[in-house]
Structure 1
Amino acid sequence: MNAEPSLLQGALLLFAALVVVLVIVIWSIRRHRDPKLKIESESPIDALLPSLAGLTLSTAVPGNSVEIHENGAFFDVLVERIAAAQESVHFETFLWKPGQLGQRIANSLCERARAGLQVRVLLDAQGCRTMEKQMREQLRDAGCQLVFFHKRKLRNLGVLNDRDHRKLVVIDGREAFVGGHCITDNWLGDAHDGEHFADLSVHLRGPIVNNLQSVFSENWAGETGELFVGDDVFPNLEPAGDVTMHAAYLKPEGSAPAVKILHHTAICLARKRIWIQNPYFIPEPEAIDAFGTAVARGADVRVITPSTGGSDAPMVQHAAHRNYEKLLRCGVRIFEYPHTMLHQKVMTIDGVWSAIGSSNFDDRSFETNDEITIGICCAETTRRLDAIFEKYAAEATEIKLDEWKKRGWLHKLRDNFYYLGNELL
Structure 2
Amino acid sequence: MAAARTWKRRTGWIAAGAVGAAALGVVLLNLWPQEKQLERRIGPVSPVQSAQFRREAGTMLGPAIVDGNAVADYQNGAEIFPAMLAAIRAAQHSVNLETYIYWSGDISRDFIAALTERARAGVKVRVLADWAGSTRMKQSAIDALRAGGVQFEYFHPLAWYTLDRVNNRTHRKLLIVDGRVAFTGGVGIADAWNGHADDPEHWRDMQFRVEGPAAQQMQAIFEDNWLTATGEVLLGPDYYPQVAAAGTLAVQAFASSPNGGSENMQLMYLLAINGARQSIDLEAAYFVPDELTLRALRGALERGVAIRLLVPGPHVDSHVVSGASQARWGAMLQAGARMYRWQPSLLHNKLMVVDGYLTMAGSANFDNRSFQLNDEANINVYDRAFAAHMTDVINADIAKATPLTHAQWQRRPWRQRVLDWLALQTASQL
TM-score by length of 1: 0.95
Q: 1:145 aligned to 2:169? A: no
- 2:412 match: 407
2:41 and 2:226 map into 1 onto residues whose CA distance is 33
For residues 42 and 315 of structure 1, the distance between their equivalents in structure 2, rounded to whole angstroms, comes to 37
In 1, Cα distance between equivalents of 2:176 and 2:29: 37
Query: Quick check: 1:333 aligned with 2:338?
Result: yes
1:424 to 405, 421, 429: 429
Please name the residue that 1:310 is paired with.
Answer: 315
Q: SS of the residue aligned with 1:122?
A: strand
Query: 2:135 matched to 1:134?
Result: no
Shift of the 46–357 alpha-carbon distance from structure 1 to 2, 3 Å rule, reads farther
The structural deviation recorded for 1:250 is 3.2
Matching residue within 379, 387, 408 for 1:382:
387
Match of 1:371 among 370, 376, 385: 376
- Give, as a single letter, the amino acid of the residue that structure 2 aligns with 1:272: Q
Q: CA deviation at 1:25?
A: 5.8
Provide closer, same or farther for how the CA distance between residues 117 and 286 of structure 1 changes in structure 2, counting only shifts above 3 A: same
Which letter does structure 2 place at the counterpart of 1:324? W
Give the drift of 1:151: 0.5
1:26-425 alignment runs, 5 A limit: 30-47=34-51, 48-72=53-77, 73-251=79-257, 256-307=262-313, 309-425=314-430
Residue 240 of structure 1: SS of its match in structure 2?
coil
Partners of 1:310 and 1:347 in 2: CA distance: 21
SS of the counterpart of 2:429? coil
Relative distance call for 1:113 and 1:347 in structure 2 (3 A) is: same
Q: Deviations over 1:1-60 (max 9, x none)?
A: 344434444444455455555655666661413153331144444421121122222211
Are 2:283 and 2:349, in contact at CA under 8 Å, matched by a contact in 1?
A: yes
Native 8 Å contact 2:360 2:381 kept in 1? yes
Rounded to whole Å, the distance in 2 between the matches of 1:252 and 1:98 is 29
Of 126-135 and 231-240, the range deviating more from structure 2: 126-135
Unaligned runs of 5+ in 1: none
* Separation in structure 2 between the aligned mates of residue 289 and residue 177 of structure 1, nearest angstrom: 32
RMSD: 1.9
Alignment partners' CA distance in 1, 2:278 and 2:384: 14
Contact 1:35-1:256 at 8 Å conserved across structures: no
Q: Percent identity?
A: 30
State the one-letter code of the partner of 1:396.
A
Distance in 1 of aligned mates of 2:306 and 2:37: 29
Contact 2:37 2:263 in 1 (8 A): no
Task: Give the partner amino acid of 1:326.
Answer: A
Asked if 1 retains the 8 angstrom alpha-carbon contact of 2:251 and 2:379, the reply is yes
> What is the letter of the counterpart of residue 88 of structure 2?
I
Structure 1: how far apart are the matches of 2:46 and 2:62? Answer: 23
Structure 2 contact 284–349 (Cα < 8 Å) conserved: yes
- Tell me the secondary structure at the aligned position of residue 72 of structure 2: strand
Please give the per-residue CA displacement for 1:346-382, whole angstroms capped at 9, x wherever unaligned.
0111000010000000111111111101111011221
Alpha-carbon displacement from aligned partner over 1:333-352 (angstroms, at most 9, x marks no partner): 22111220121110111000
Q: 1:46 to 1:289 in 2, by over 3 A?
A: same
Q: Matched residues in 1 for 2:400 and 2:230: separation?
A: 46
